[in-house]
């Protein structure tokens, strides 16, 4: 076979491989079941609980943005639009599982057991915000893009060596899939068959760069092939599809079958962060309108109403509960001791270098006055 024919054959093989990565969907935009075979086995109470958490998270996003604008929160990465991707994926986990989140993934930490007041302190850059509770398997949200993928591989291998029936799950955005850590983490986990779940929340833009510019690959899910692990693309606006995919990936992992890459195709309705990003500079109004029709809360609400297990009154009740608990949490955060320079230095090093020890003593003396 000539070199030219070999390349042509390679192109054909790529096209055939890409055709296999069809997006998994259970509910369409109208809340209708379009894939009975993939329907997860959830009771009516579980379905309602999932909806409650998604509604709560939408309100948390709205209030966090308001608190940021008031100067009461620091770093805030809006989550509206990604509730199905975030909350339904977490809903498929168990308490003993370990979460390695990106900076937009504070909702998963909340539902995993981290107090909301502590997450507000993390937003403010307070050192207490990064101290995860002892009974919660999680790391603080990772600011470095994609770095949590390598950490997840290590945590997952540790779980395997200890014989734990649990998984390490990590999240990044589509921009994270362009980082070297993304490939290295998956490759390591695949080589050692570590119980890891790698999720890429493809919200279409790495800040302002569209995913089509980041990679020539038609899907992010297909990148799993190079690591020798399965990959699946999921409708990230469909909570039942996300739950089904993560649940299956978890089952594989705890049964010793290794890691899985899941691409959730989703959309963030707000800016990348509240630090000055203007999405109107790189997104069209038509695009935003198109994705608003796919709203995960609207879709799931229609499905539950069709089943007769959800009402406007129930939704209003959870909205009021969320508002009250958010109000209480920010008040608790406000009462936290003011962070000092010496706190920063002491928490950065186990043993301070000589030059910093000298500065530490100077600041300590100033703070005592």
Mind spelling out the 3-state secondary structure of the chain? CCHHHHHHHHHHHHHHHHHCCCCECCECCCCCECCHHHCCCCCHHHHHHHHHHHHHHHHHHHHHHHHHHCCCCCCCCCCCCCHHHHHHHHHCCCCCCEEECECCCHHHHHHHCCCHHHHHHHHCCCHHHHCCCCCCCECCCECCCCHHHHHHHHHHHHHHHCCCCCCEEEEEEHHHHHCHHHHHHHHHHHHCCCCEEEEEEECCEECCEEHHHHCCCCCCHHHHHHHCCCEEEEECCCHHHHHHHHHHHHHHHHCCCCCEEEEEECCCCCCCCCCCCCHHHCCCHHHHHHHHCCCHHHHHHHHHHHHCCCCHHHHHHHHHHHHHHHHHHHHHHHCCCCCCHHHHHHHHCCCCCHHHHHHHHHHHHHHHC
**Whether the Cβ atoms of residue 258 and residue 229 lie closer than 8 Å to each other:** yes
**Whether the Cβ atoms of residue 78 and residue 271 lie closer than 8 Å to each other:** yes
The residue written with tokens 């000092």 in the block is 340
The residue written with tokens 């705890």 in the block is 254
The confidence score (pLDDT) of residue 136 equals 98
Annotated active-site residue 90? The verdict is no
* The two structure tokens encoding residue 145: 């893009």
The confidence score (pLDDT) of residue 17 equals 74
CA angle 134, 130, 182 (to 5 degrees): 100
Annotated active-site residue 268? The verdict is yes
Q: CA of 316: how far to CAs of 275, 297, 300, 349, in Å? A: 31, 14, 16, 47
Convert the pLDDT of each residue in 69-119 to its tens digit: 999 999 999 999 999 999 999 999 999 999 999 999 999 999 999 999 999
Convert the pLDDT of each residue in 136-154 to its tens digit: 999 999 999 999 999 999 9
Spot the catalytic one: 90, 272, 283, 299: 272
The confidence score (pLDDT) of residue 7 equals 65
Spot the catalytic one: 268, 283, 299, 301: 268
pLDDT, mean over the chain: 95
- pLDDT tops 60 at residue 181: yes
- pLDDT tops 80 at residue 10: no
How would residue 4 be classed by pLDDT, with cut points 50, 70 and 90?
confident
**Dist CA 74 CA 90 (whole Å):** 25
How would residue 49 be classed by pLDDT, with cut points 50, 70 and 90?
very high
Convert the pLDDT of each residue in 206-249 to its tens digit: 999 999 999 999 999 999 999 999 999 999 999 999 999 999 99
- pLDDT tops 60 at residue 349: yes
How would residue 199 be classed by pLDDT, with cut points 50, 70 and 90?
very high
Domain spanning 43-337: CATH 3.30.70.20:
no
**Dist CA 99 CA 137 (whole Å):** 6
- pLDDT tops 80 at residue 16: no
Annotated active-site residue 250? The verdict is no
Convert the pLDDT of each residue in 322-334 to its tens digit: 999 999 999 999 9
CA angle 176, 177, 178 (to 5 degrees): 85
Q: CA of 110: how far to CAs of 86, 113, 207, 310, in Å? A: 11, 5, 24, 23
**Quick one: what percent of the chain has pLDDT higher than 90?**
91
- pLDDT tops 60 at residue 1: no
How would residue 350 be classed by pLDDT, with cut points 50, 70 and 90?
confident
The residue written with tokens 């075979």 in the block is 37
288-295 mean pLDDT: 96
* The two structure tokens encoding residue 192: 């050692």
The confidence score (pLDDT) of residue 47 equals 98
Spot the catalytic one: 183, 192, 269, 282: 282
- pLDDT tops 90 at residue 3: no
- pLDDT tops 60 at residue 267: yes
Q: Between 35 and 10, name the one with better pLDDT.
A: 35
- pLDDT tops 60 at residue 276: yes
Domain boundaries, the chain: 43-337, 339-369
257-286 mean pLDDT: 95
Selection from 325, 326, 304 nearest residue 315 by Cα: 304
């Amino acid at each position: 076979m000539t070199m030219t024919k070999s390349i042509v054959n390679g192109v054909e093989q790529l096209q055939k491989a890409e055709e296999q990565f069809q997006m998994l969907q259970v509910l369409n935009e109208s809340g209708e079941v379009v894939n009975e075979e993939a329907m997860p086995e959830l009771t009516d109470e579980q379905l309602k609980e999932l909806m409650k958490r998604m509604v709560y998270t939408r309100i948390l996003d709205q209030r966090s943005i308001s608190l940021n604008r008031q100067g009461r929160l620091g770093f805030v990465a809006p989550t509206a639009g990604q509730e199905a991707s975030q909350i339904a994926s977490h809903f498929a986990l168990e308490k003993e599982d370990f979460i390695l989140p990106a900076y937009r993934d504070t909702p998963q930490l909340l539902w995993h057991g981290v107090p909301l007041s502590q997450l507000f302190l993390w937003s403010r850059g307070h050192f207490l915000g990064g101290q995860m509770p002892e009974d919660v398997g999680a790391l603080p949200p990772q600011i470095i893009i994609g770095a949590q993928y390598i950490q997840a591989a290590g945590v997952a291998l540790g779980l395997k060596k200890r014989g734990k029936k649990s998984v390490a799950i990590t999240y990044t955005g589509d921009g994270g899939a362009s980082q070297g850590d993304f490939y290295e983490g998956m490759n390591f986990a695949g080589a050692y068959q570590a119980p890891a779940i790698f999720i890429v929340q493809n919200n279409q833009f790495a800040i302002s760069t569209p995913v089509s510019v980041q990679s020539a690959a038609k899907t992010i899910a297909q990148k799993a092939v190079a690591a020798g692990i399965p990959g699946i693309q999921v409708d990230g606006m469909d909570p039942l599809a996300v739950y089904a995919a993560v649940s299956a990936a978890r089952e594989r992992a705890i049964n010793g079958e290794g890691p899985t890459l899941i691409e959730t195709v989703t959309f963030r309705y707000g800016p990348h962060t509240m630090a000055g990003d203007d999405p109107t500079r790189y997104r069209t109004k038509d695009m935003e309108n198109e994705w608003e029709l796919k709203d995960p809360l609207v879709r799931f609400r229609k499905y539950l109403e069709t089943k007769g297990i959800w009402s406007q009154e129930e939704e209003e009740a959870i909205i009021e509960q969320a508002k009250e608990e958010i109000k209480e949490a920010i008040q608790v955060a406000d009462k936290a001791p003011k962070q000092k320079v010496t706190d920063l230095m002491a928490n950065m090093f186990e043993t301070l270098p000589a030059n910093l020890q000298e500065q530490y003593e100077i600041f300590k003396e100033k703070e005592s006055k």
